[in-house]
Structure 1
């Protein structure tokens, strides 16, 4: 019989931006032990772990064996593989919170793996960007154990709400929202950059203000460029899962697939150094989206005609 003892050790699979924020906040909440595992075991990762008292595990299974609660926060395509890799080490009755932006079908597969290993799987759909909210980011929970886990997560500092006892409902909510949100990012980058090339950006933005007066298009432009330049690769993976969600509904994912392609295209430019060095303090921090659009246009125009 499972017992709901206090969470004394939390294991974080994925120690990127989200994992590090969670580690900092969990330690600040007084969690006795925070463990982490990331395949990218670089100097910056190790330094952050040392500063915040986070123990680095050598493998997924080792992390799972030492945790009462495992939180998977990796790239979308790795949601199921991470569940598979953690399963051999899971304690009987251990919690597994899947933070990943994956399709309902992927969450159902991951849940079956964790339940088969004796763990308790809960899907978590993160409903907005993590950095401004940190651990208090709105989090939709789903699955047969969601209601049990919610109070524990709240005590740890999270802001959970239960969407459904059925796996996939929370993720479907997140994914269908992302058709719009991530699509808007891609459309703004495409529209504003093309408008800049044609010299009509001021007229386009003025028209948008008239049509949608409640939206600050200048600030949105800067924010969307920043986020996609910084995280376009991860976002592209997420939107491919969004496209899979649309397919699972029986629809061709034309909009979602185009969004994934645009996000990946910007990520390719970032990897090529178009926006400067990724480790530089000012990388993707321009308050004016025009500076980033000009870099895109310079890169495109520098290419030889095909």
Structure 2
């Protein structure tokens, strides 16, 4: 089985390594690859070349370029291929990409990555919806992927559930980060940690994981919470808490640049 991976950032490079170790032929493309790739990995000259002979296509680009990537590969896609749209986007964006690719007849999968990719890599839990979801699970049954296929085949459903979950997880992480920062500013970090532990359980290491993870992955989580805000605004909601989480992540991402 031949795999193409479009986007070789943190997630894409981990997937490339793990799939190659499982004995699959892996090729891909990224305009600016910065991470180590496995022995035998074939770097194509562009996205279209990468997908030419692939059975399954993992599109793990940034949401900002996902429609551009779809238009680039459309002329060479074939109906027997599976296209996994894995970018963190609002459901409406997933449906837009599916519509772009529809003339090719490609089997479309809305695939949501439901946890940080390191350290589990390709074994990270994934949620799948869309017309090609069941076929994707069937093709990967011999490999140690954790794929939950939703009974609802609607494109965007997996993205919707991931983003709803993000409201909780990223929102809690944001509150904990601000509380710890405030505790330090007033010389009361021990006190504020005690208050946080009273809610999340006696797990001081969990506080550190929330804080460190938020700072380390601020840029990626910013994209995620921006997608949450888009999704909620499309429902004519005023997502005050999610906008605050997004803005906090924007501040942290700006500091990293």
TM-score higher than 0.5 here? yes
Offset at residue 148 of structure 1 (A): 1.8
1:265 aligns with 2:251: yes
1:29/1:157 contact within 8 Å kept: no
2:29 aligned residue = 37
1:228/1:267 contact within 8 Å kept: no
1:167 aligns with 2:155: yes
1:19 aligned residue = 12
Alignment of structure 1 residues 142-221 onto 2, 5 Å: 142-163=129-150, 164-213=152-201, 216=203, 218-221=204-207
1:123 to 110, 122, 131: 110
CA, structure 1 residues 200+173, in 2 after alignment: closer, same or farther (shift >3 Å)? same
What TM-score comes out, normalization by structure 2 length? 0.93
2:225/2:242 contact within 8 Å kept: yes
Aligned length: 256
Runs of 4+ in 1 over 3 A off after TM superposition: none
Offset at residue 166 of structure 1 (A): 1.0
Larger Rg: 1
Q: Distance in 2 between matches of 1:154 and 1:39?
A: 32
User: What per-residue deviation string (whole Å, max 9, x for no partner) do you get for residues 239-268 of structure 1?
Assistant: 101111111222112222211111121111
1:301 aligned residue = none
1:87/1:114 contact within 8 Å kept: yes
Offset at residue 212 of structure 1 (A): 3.2
Unpaired segments ≥5 residues, structure 2: none
CA RMSD, Structure 1 to Structure 2 (Å)? 1.6
User: What per-residue deviation string (whole Å, max 9, x for no partner) do you get for residues 225-245 of structure 1?
Assistant: 332332211211121011111
Unpaired segments ≥5 residues, structure 1: 1-7, 272-306
Of the structure 1 ranges 176-185 and 77-86, higher mean CA displacement relative to structure 2 is found in 77-86
What TM-score comes out, normalization by structure 1 length? 0.79
- What SS is found at the alignment partner of 2:118? helix
Q: Distance in 2 between matches of 1:70 and 1:223?
A: 32
2:85 to 94, 98, 104: 98
Q: Distance in 2 between matches of 1:248 and 1:150?
A: 31
1:246 aligned residue = 232
- What SS is found at the alignment partner of 1:132? coil
Offset at residue 52 of structure 1 (A): 2.4
1:55 aligns with 2:42: yes
Q: Distance in 2 between matches of 1:180 and 1:114?
A: 32
